[in-house]
Structure 1
Protein backbone atom coordinates (compact mmCIF):
# COMPACT_ATOMS: atom_id res chain seq x y z
CA UNK A 1 0.00 0.00 0.00
CA UNK A 2 3.05 2.24 0.29
CA UNK A 3 2.40 5.90 1.00
CA UNK A 4 -1.36 5.82 0.55
CA UNK A 5 -2.22 6.12 4.24
CA UNK A 6 0.56 8.45 5.35
CA UNK A 7 -1.31 9.61 8.46
CA UNK A 8 -2.24 6.03 9.46
CA UNK A 9 -5.93 6.90 9.64
CA UNK A 10 -6.95 3.42 8.49
CA UNK A 11 -5.19 1.80 11.44
CA UNK A 12 -8.09 3.04 13.55
CA UNK A 13 -10.50 0.97 11.40
CA UNK A 14 -13.01 3.78 10.90
CA UNK A 15 -14.97 1.84 8.27
CA UNK A 16 -17.26 -1.13 8.70
CA UNK A 17 -19.88 -2.86 6.59
CA UNK A 18 -22.79 -5.21 6.95
CA UNK A 19 -24.61 -7.32 4.42
CA UNK A 20 -28.32 -8.03 4.72
CA UNK A 21 -30.14 -11.08 3.39
CA UNK A 22 -30.85 -9.58 -0.06
CA UNK A 23 -27.10 -8.87 -0.53
CA UNK A 24 -27.41 -5.12 0.06
CA UNK A 25 -24.27 -3.74 1.68
CA UNK A 26 -24.32 -0.87 4.15
CA UNK A 27 -21.00 0.95 4.55
CA UNK A 28 -20.41 2.87 7.74
CA UNK A 29 -17.82 5.43 8.79
CA UNK A 30 -17.35 5.59 12.57
CA UNK A 31 -20.76 3.97 12.97
CA UNK A 32 -22.68 6.31 10.68
CA UNK A 33 -24.06 4.92 7.44
CA UNK A 34 -22.42 6.66 4.48
CA UNK A 35 -23.20 4.48 1.46
CA UNK A 36 -25.43 1.63 0.30
CA UNK A 37 -24.28 -0.81 -2.38
CA UNK A 38 -26.59 -3.05 -4.41
CA UNK A 39 -26.34 -5.39 -7.37
CA UNK A 40 -23.12 -5.45 -9.37
CA UNK A 41 -21.58 -2.70 -7.26
CA UNK A 42 -22.11 -4.83 -4.13
CA UNK A 43 -20.67 -7.92 -5.83
CA UNK A 44 -17.58 -5.98 -6.93
CA UNK A 45 -17.11 -4.67 -3.39
CA UNK A 46 -17.33 -8.15 -1.83
CA UNK A 47 -14.87 -9.50 -4.39
CA UNK A 48 -12.35 -6.76 -3.53
CA UNK A 49 -12.81 -7.28 0.21
CA UNK A 50 -12.29 -11.04 -0.16
CA UNK A 51 -9.10 -10.43 -2.18
CA UNK A 52 -7.68 -8.02 0.42
CA UNK A 53 -4.60 -9.30 2.19
CA UNK A 54 -5.24 -7.64 5.55
CA UNK A 55 -7.63 -5.40 7.47
CA UNK A 56 -5.90 -2.21 6.34
CA UNK A 57 -6.49 -3.20 2.71
CA UNK A 58 -10.17 -3.80 3.50
CA UNK A 59 -10.32 -0.34 5.08
CA UNK A 60 -8.74 1.14 1.96
CA UNK A 61 -11.34 -0.52 -0.28
CA UNK A 62 -14.13 1.00 1.81
CA UNK A 63 -12.42 4.40 1.92
CA UNK A 64 -12.12 4.54 -1.85
CA UNK A 65 -15.71 3.44 -2.47
CA UNK A 66 -17.16 5.98 -0.05
CA UNK A 67 -14.87 8.76 -1.22
CA UNK A 68 -14.32 9.50 2.45
CA UNK A 69 -10.54 9.40 2.42
CA UNK A 70 -8.21 12.38 2.25
CA UNK A 71 -5.22 11.90 -0.01
CA UNK A 72 -3.51 15.19 0.74
CA UNK A 73 -3.82 16.49 -2.83
CA UNK A 74 -7.30 18.04 -2.71
CA UNK A 75 -6.08 21.61 -3.12
CA UNK A 76 -4.00 20.73 -6.19
CA UNK A 77 -6.80 18.77 -7.87
CA UNK A 78 -9.41 21.54 -7.63
CA UNK A 79 -7.83 23.68 -10.32
CA UNK A 80 -6.91 20.97 -12.79
CA UNK A 81 -8.66 21.07 -16.14
CA UNK A 82 -10.55 24.30 -15.47
CA UNK A 83 -9.94 27.87 -16.52
CA UNK A 84 -9.84 30.06 -13.47
CA UNK A 85 -9.82 33.80 -13.60
CA UNK A 86 -7.55 34.97 -10.86
CA UNK A 87 -7.68 38.63 -9.99
Structure 2
Protein backbone atom coordinates (compact mmCIF):
# COMPACT_ATOMS: atom_id res chain seq x y z
CA UNK A 1 0.00 0.00 0.00
CA UNK A 2 1.53 3.36 -0.93
CA UNK A 3 2.12 5.92 1.77
CA UNK A 4 0.82 9.46 1.89
CA UNK A 5 2.34 11.99 -0.46
CA UNK A 6 1.97 15.58 -1.49
CA UNK A 7 2.54 17.11 1.95
CA UNK A 8 4.72 20.19 2.27
CA UNK A 9 5.42 22.27 5.36
CA UNK A 10 6.56 25.86 5.69
CA UNK A 11 8.18 27.11 8.88
CA UNK A 12 7.74 30.85 9.36
CA UNK A 13 9.90 33.21 11.42
CA UNK A 14 6.95 33.86 13.74
CA UNK A 15 7.11 30.24 14.96
CA UNK A 16 4.14 29.14 12.91
CA UNK A 17 4.23 26.01 10.73
CA UNK A 18 1.75 25.61 7.89
CA UNK A 19 1.23 22.14 6.42
CA UNK A 20 -0.33 21.87 2.98
CA UNK A 21 -1.24 18.97 0.75
CA UNK A 22 -1.32 19.51 -3.00
CA UNK A 23 -1.20 23.28 -2.40
CA UNK A 24 -4.28 23.23 -0.16
CA UNK A 25 -4.01 24.08 3.55
CA UNK A 26 -4.24 21.05 5.82
CA UNK A 27 -3.35 22.58 9.21
CA UNK A 28 -1.45 25.36 10.93
CA UNK A 29 0.61 24.78 14.07
CA UNK A 30 1.65 27.46 16.56
CA UNK A 31 4.03 27.71 19.50
CA UNK A 32 5.03 24.52 21.30
CA UNK A 33 3.16 22.26 18.90
CA UNK A 34 5.02 23.77 15.95
CA UNK A 35 8.36 23.23 17.71
CA UNK A 36 7.53 19.59 18.51
CA UNK A 37 6.43 19.01 14.91
CA UNK A 38 9.65 20.47 13.51
CA UNK A 39 11.74 18.27 15.81
CA UNK A 40 9.83 15.17 14.80
CA UNK A 41 9.69 15.84 11.06
CA UNK A 42 13.42 16.59 10.77
CA UNK A 43 14.40 13.33 12.47
CA UNK A 44 11.81 11.06 10.83
CA UNK A 45 12.83 8.59 8.13
CA UNK A 46 9.65 9.45 6.18
CA UNK A 47 8.39 13.00 6.79
CA UNK A 48 5.24 12.35 4.72
CA UNK A 49 3.88 9.98 7.39
CA UNK A 50 4.65 12.51 10.12
CA UNK A 51 2.82 15.27 8.28
CA UNK A 52 -0.15 12.98 7.56
CA UNK A 53 -0.39 12.08 11.24
CA UNK A 54 -0.12 15.70 12.44
CA UNK A 55 -2.85 16.85 10.07
CA UNK A 56 -5.32 14.35 11.51
CA UNK A 57 -8.50 14.08 9.46
CA UNK A 58 -7.22 16.13 6.57
CA UNK A 59 -9.33 14.29 4.00
CA UNK A 60 -12.54 15.02 5.83
CA UNK A 61 -14.57 18.17 5.62
CA UNK A 62 -17.12 17.34 2.97
CA UNK A 63 -19.40 15.23 5.19
CA UNK A 64 -21.84 18.08 5.79
CA UNK A 65 -22.09 18.77 2.07
CA UNK A 66 -22.57 15.08 1.31
CA UNK A 67 -25.18 14.71 4.05
CA UNK A 68 -27.27 17.51 2.55
CA UNK A 69 -27.20 16.07 -0.96
CA UNK A 70 -30.68 14.85 -2.06
CA UNK A 71 -29.34 11.37 -2.78
CA UNK A 72 -28.21 10.97 0.85
CA UNK A 73 -31.27 12.34 2.60
CA UNK A 74 -33.59 9.93 4.37
- For the criterion TM > 0.5, the same-fold answer is yes
How far 1:68 sits from its partner (Å)? Answer: 4.0
Preserved CA contact (<8 Å) 2:26 2:58: no
- Once superposed, which parts of structure 1, at least 4 consecutive aligned residues long, lie more than 2 Å away? none
TM-score (norm 2): 0.70
Q: Quote the Cα distance in structure 2 between the aligned partners of 1:68 and 1:9.
A: 15
Q: Is it true that 1:64 corresponds to 2:57 in the alignment? A: no
How far 1:9 sits from its partner (Å)? Answer: 3.7
Q: Secondary structure at the match of 2:13?
A: coil
- In the comparison of the two structures, how many residue pairs are matched? 59
Could you tell me which runs of 5 or more consecutive residues in structure 2 were left unpaired when the two chains were aligned: 60-74
How far 1:67 sits from its partner (Å)? Answer: 1.3
How far 1:21 sits from its partner (Å)? Answer: 1.2
Q: Quote the Cα distance in structure 2 between the aligned partners of 1:43 and 1:69.
A: 20
The aligned counterpart of 1:30 is 22
The aligned counterpart of 2:2 is 8
Two-structure CA RMSD over aligned residues (Å) = 1.8
Preserved CA contact (<8 Å) 2:10 2:19: yes
TM-score (norm 1): 0.60
